[in-house]
Amino acid sequence: MPSARPGTRPLALVTGASGGIGEALARRAAADGHDLVLVARSRPRLDQLAAELAGGGSDAEVLAADLQTDDGVADVVARLRSTDDRPVDVLVNNAGFGSVGDFAELPADILAGEVALNVMALMLLTRAALPGMLDRRQGGILNVASLASFLPGPGMANYSATKAFVLSLTEAIREETVGSGVRITALCPGFTRTGFQGRAGVRTGGLTGPAWQSAEQVAAAGWAGFRRGDDVIVPGALNKISAVTVRFSPRPLVRKISAAAIRRLH
């Protein structure tokens, strides 16, 4: 549905807006004067958030879609390409999940679903949104990658590989579109307390407090960095140190440390 006030406020489409980092990013965007298109599978939670945001003055459309399915992706692609509806100024590709366990033992359909959501849906939504943004010479895409994007993750091999794709794609597109007026940013959170750990079935007690951030902390850093036009945002001092350390450490050592950290989640 077109907004009652077309053109008066920028419009942000956030995937995975029904909880965790996506919900916190949607709230940030609303507080920053954006209207929203909220995407996830859980329509009741999206309806509830839309009503709350409306109370704060943001117009929010709900688009319930399963981005692991072709139909779900097609619905969101259609919204991004639509010339009848208000154009989407900001795309936040946030929906994602992580599988935990040895690659040889994880069910193939879970691994394929992880690639479908974290990689294929993100790529197709980015491809659908970008040409219009380039034509309008404004807007931007915020892709949620991970600290896992920087290193292989034994025990979360498939997840880490999907997030390496997200970071690589985002950085490359940013370079392709330099000077276009369109902002392209990757957000790389570390351990963040959300529904992610429950869905992944991980044990979180093995990691100490300072390693963890809240979804609100991650969203605050992510949205501020995106608005500034940052290329890659790593929220939190410890995470920043980890990302830099990984870059300058020998790869065999990085693999061993990564494996040890992930084993504590099993």
> Where along the sequence are the contacts to ligand NAP (CB under 6 A)?
15-22, 40-42, 66-68, 94-98, 117, 144, 146, 189, 191-192, 194-196, 199, 215
**Residue among 58 and 239 whose Cβ is closer to ligand NAP:** 239
Whole-angstrom Cα distance, residue 51 to residue 67? 23
- Inter-residue contact 59 to 9 (CB < 8 Å): yes
User: What is the torsional sign of CA 221, 46, 68, 88?
Assistant: negative
Q: CB of 35: closest distance to ligand NAP in angstroms?
A: 19
Give bridge partners of residue 140 from the DSSP assignment. Answer: 90, 183
Considering 159, 191, 196, 226, which one is annotated as catalytic?
Answer: 159
Pairing of strands 192-193, 183-187: unpaired
Q: CB of 70: closest distance to ligand NAP in angstroms?
A: 12
Q: What is the DSSP letter of 88?
A: P
Distances (CA, A) of 59 to 3, 175, 250: 7, 33, 49
Whole-angstrom Cα distance, residue 207 to residue 143? 26
Residue 189 annotated among the catalytic residues of the structure: no
- Inter-residue contact 97 to 68 (CB < 8 Å): no
- Total count of residues recorded for the chain: 266
Q: CB of 120: closest distance to ligand NAP in angstroms?
A: 11
**Residue among 87 and 190 whose Cβ is closer to ligand NAP:** 190
Residues 153, 144, 113: CA angle, nearest 5 degrees: 65
**Residue among 106 and 134 whose Cβ is closer to ligand NAP:** 106
**Residue among 20 and 225 whose Cβ is closer to ligand NAP:** 20
Q: CB of 27: closest distance to ligand NAP in angstroms?
A: 13
Say which amino acid occupies 144.
Answer: V
Say which amino acid occupies 16.
Answer: G
Q: CB of 239: closest distance to ligand NAP in angstroms?
A: 9
**Residue among 133 and 144 whose Cβ is closer to ligand NAP:** 144
- Inter-residue contact 5 to 88 (CB < 8 Å): no
Q: Which residues have a catalytic role annotated?
A: 159
